Amino acid sequence: MNDPLPRTILLVDTERYSDRDDVQQAFLRRMLYDVVDRTLLAAGIDQTLRLRADRGDAIMELIDPGAPLTTLLRALLTEVPAQLRAVNRLAASSAQIRLRAVLATGYVAIDEFDGWVGTDLNHACRLLDGEPLKEALRERTDDYALCVSEPVYAGIVRHNHTGIPAEEFTAVTMPSKNGPLGAWLYGPLPKGGPAPEPEGDSGARNGAATAARSANQISGGQFGGTNYGINGGTFLGDIQLGGGDRR
């Protein structure tokens, strides 16, 4: 296995993919690829700066950390909604595509089987599968829900860079088998409302962020030993993702 390298991690998943027939799924896959490719190109990230793993109803991207994270996040906030509006206004109701996405950073290694290995990647996958993000998308009419990891919030979002409104991100907690994971949801919270602060939280955020988290936290059911993959499969233990296309 190669040494872990710093990466920007982008995960994008299609809602209710398995509810569609084969023809509809093929269409949704083409639209998913198109939306993600156009968004990354708008952020100045071409195929030389990224590796892709196809998960059927989802795409995973490992992006060169030299690509500016602020530019990518701006594209995720503006380009993805614009692309979805353009696609869905011309698509039949059975072919409407709705997406949830996670932007994270961390260290990922690529092994001899072309598999992707890393705790930071595991955490990003669990954020994508977290009930708060799923519930946020179910309640929205704009076909898109995005959350960012704690490091992305701390390093980028909280500084209120142009086009990245920190006040529109709210702290949430995603339950996982290894304990609660903090993240920041863009846009309104699900109507389920906030949950109490989990016990044992590290309190790593600054005072203002901790207050926001305490006021706005969401919690769901605790995962057991079985994890549910981003393409509907199940697997036990920590996540190791292999077979990614290097595109």
The pLDDT tens digits of the residues spanning 206-225 come to: 433 433 333 333 333 333 33
Question: Is 218 in contact with 184 (CB distance < 8 Å)?
Answer: no
Say if strands 144-149 and 169-174 run parallel, antiparallel, or are unpaired: unpaired
- For residue 146, CA distances in Å to 4, 25, 48 come to 26, 22, 25
Domains in the chain, ordered, with CATH? 5-241 (3.30.70.1230)
Q: What mean pLDDT comes out for the span 130-135?
A: 93
Q: How far is Cα 122 from Cα 118, in angstroms, rounded to an integer?
A: 6
Which residue did the predictor score with more confidence, 65 or 194? Answer: 65
- For residue 232, CA distances in Å to 13, 34, 162, 195 come to 11, 22, 37, 27
- pLDDT attached to residue 192: 66
Structure tokens at 69: 């994270």
Considering only 7-11, 68-72, 119-123, 199-203, which range has the smallest mean pLDDT? Answer: 199-203
Beta bridge partners of 185: 147, 170
Q: How far is Cα 55 from Cα 4, in angstroms, rounded to an integer?
A: 22
- pLDDT attached to residue 120: 96
Ranges 126-135, 201-210, 220-229, most confident: 126-135
- pLDDT attached to residue 178: 76
Confidence of residue 175 (pLDDT cuts 50, 70, 90): confident
Structure tokens at 31: 């639209």
Residue found under tokens 């036990």? 236
CB atoms < 10 A from the CB of 37, how many?
A: 18
Beta bridge partners of 149: 183
Read off the pTM.
Answer: 0.77
